[in-house]
């Protein structure tokens, strides 16, 4: 089982945004030394709690400070960019860090209506996302209407299983990154494998299971470490933004003051969806997920207020690889 990491450059209460970016880079350097397979960065625009709006720019810095680990976008949101620009960024990264770059693509629009307007895309018509994903691939492989440069070997493409991503991944012959409730949808995953059309880069289907992970000395402590992100998730439904992570004690107090039953159920559901426990418990659950889905790889998101806890969790995850 390969272990990879997805990092969103989460900001923390009382810290400047630039510190979140520096923390992401330092984490990637540590992951490189640990033998983690991939390190992916995410794209979120104008979200106060997330400092990474440009995965490609961040990956250029990470690639310069690492030597072995694969680096990639998890993902670039296709509706926010022109396909040529996406391909050019990926090819430039590949030229700088040959053989280590992954291009993960997704279909989400901006988080709120003002962000979508600022990005110039408020909705997607039927078939537009699929057409633009294919256009990205054409530019990567030198088959586009113009020649994207630099001309280097195209980095591998992956599709996040959002906006019909599983069926598109099967149609285009691409690996699929599956998370959330889709991990429990065995029928959808089986259909992806059955309908997969082999491509030049990927002769076989591939599933990457994306999960939220928390590891501590006890299962209860591991669940406590999830509270800062659980609060940000719940609060985002009310305020339209992911706020900076709060310390565990403050997040516990904030969550304890929730009186809305629907919001409370949402919080509890988010915590239950995470894989949390001791090292052995998490290793067992990740192995179960891999077996149930046929996933060859776990893409772990580890997020809590204390960056040192995140690094210790990454180290524990690295030891699970086999």
**Residue 14 within any structural domain of the chain:** yes
Instruction: Give this prediction's pTM.
Output: 0.95
The torsion angle over the Cα atoms of residues 223, 224, 229 and 232, rounded to 10 degrees, is 120
| DSSP SS3 for 178 | strand
Does the residue 246 lie in any domain? Answer: no
Q: At 43, which CATH number? A: 3.20.20.30
Task: Output the tens digit of pLDDT for each of the chain's 322 residues.
Answer: 899 999 999 999 999 999 999 999 999 999 999 999 999 999 999 888 999 999 999 999 999 999 999 999 999 999 999 999 999 999 999 999 999 999 999 998 888 888 899 999 998 888 999 999 999 999 999 999 999 999 999 999 999 998 678 999 999 999 999 998 899 999 999 999 999 999 999 999 999 999 999 999 999 999 999 999 999 888 777 776 778 999 999 999 999 888 888 888 888 989 999 999 999 999 999 999 999 999 999 999 999 999 999 999 999 999 999 7
Q: Which residue has the tokens 């992951």?
A: 31
Q: Is residue 263 part of a domain?
A: no
Position 308 in a domain: yes
- Whether residue 181 is contained in a domain is answered as yes
Residue 298 and residue 4 in contact, taking contact as beta carbons nearer than 8 Å = yes
Q: Is residue 264 part of a domain?
A: no
Is position 38 within any domain?
A: yes
Residue 304, domain extent: 2-217+278-318
Residue matched to tokens 């990926």: 90
Per the structure, how many domains does the chain have? 1
Q: Is residue 86 part of a domain?
A: yes
In degrees, rounded to 5, the angle at the alpha carbon of residue 139 between the alpha carbons of residues 54 and 87 is 10
Number of Cβ within a 10 Å radius of residue 132: 19
Cβ 48 vs Cβ 244: under 8 Å: yes
């Amino acid at each position: 089982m390969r272990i990879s990491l997805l990092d969103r450059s989460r900001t923390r209460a009382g810290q400047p945004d630039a510190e979140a970016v520096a923390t992401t880079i330092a984490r990637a350097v540590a992951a490189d030394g640990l033998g983690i397979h991939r390190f992916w960065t995410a794209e979120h625009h104008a979200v106060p709690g997330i400092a990474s709006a440009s995965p490609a720019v961040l990956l250029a810095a990470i690639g310069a400070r690492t030597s072995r680990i694969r680096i990639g976008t998890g993902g670039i949101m296709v509706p926010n960019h022109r396909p040529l620009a996406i391909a050019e960024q990926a090819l430039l990264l590949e030229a700088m860090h040959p053989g280590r770059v992954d291009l993960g693509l997704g279909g989400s629009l901006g988080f709120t209506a003002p962000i979508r307007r600022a990005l110039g895309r408020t909705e997607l018509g039927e078939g537009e996302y699929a057409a633009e994903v294919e256009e990205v691939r054409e530019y990567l492989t030198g088959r586009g209407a113009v020649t994207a440069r630099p001309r280097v070997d195209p980095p591998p493409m992956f599709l996040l299983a959002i906006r019909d991503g599983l069926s598109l991944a099967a149609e285009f012959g691409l690996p699929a990154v599956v998370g959330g409730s889709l991990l429990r949808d065995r029928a959808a995953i089986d259909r992806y494998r059955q309908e997969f059309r082999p491509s030049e880069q990927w002769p076989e289907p591939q599933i990457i299971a994306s999960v939220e992970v928390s590891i501590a000395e006890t299962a209860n402590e591991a669940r406590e470490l999830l509270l800062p992100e659980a609060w940000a998730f719940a609060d985002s439904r009310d305020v339209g933004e992911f706020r900076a992570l709060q310390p565990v004690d403050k997040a516990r107090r904030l969550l304890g003051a929730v009186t809305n039953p629907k919001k409370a159920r949402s919080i509890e559901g988010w915590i239950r969806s995470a894989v949390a426990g001791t090292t052995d418990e998490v290793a067992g659950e990740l192995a179960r997920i891999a077996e149930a889905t046929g996933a060859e790889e776990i893409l772990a998101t580890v997020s809590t207020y204390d960056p040192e806890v995140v690094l210790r969790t990454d180290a524990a995850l690295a030891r699970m690889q086999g």
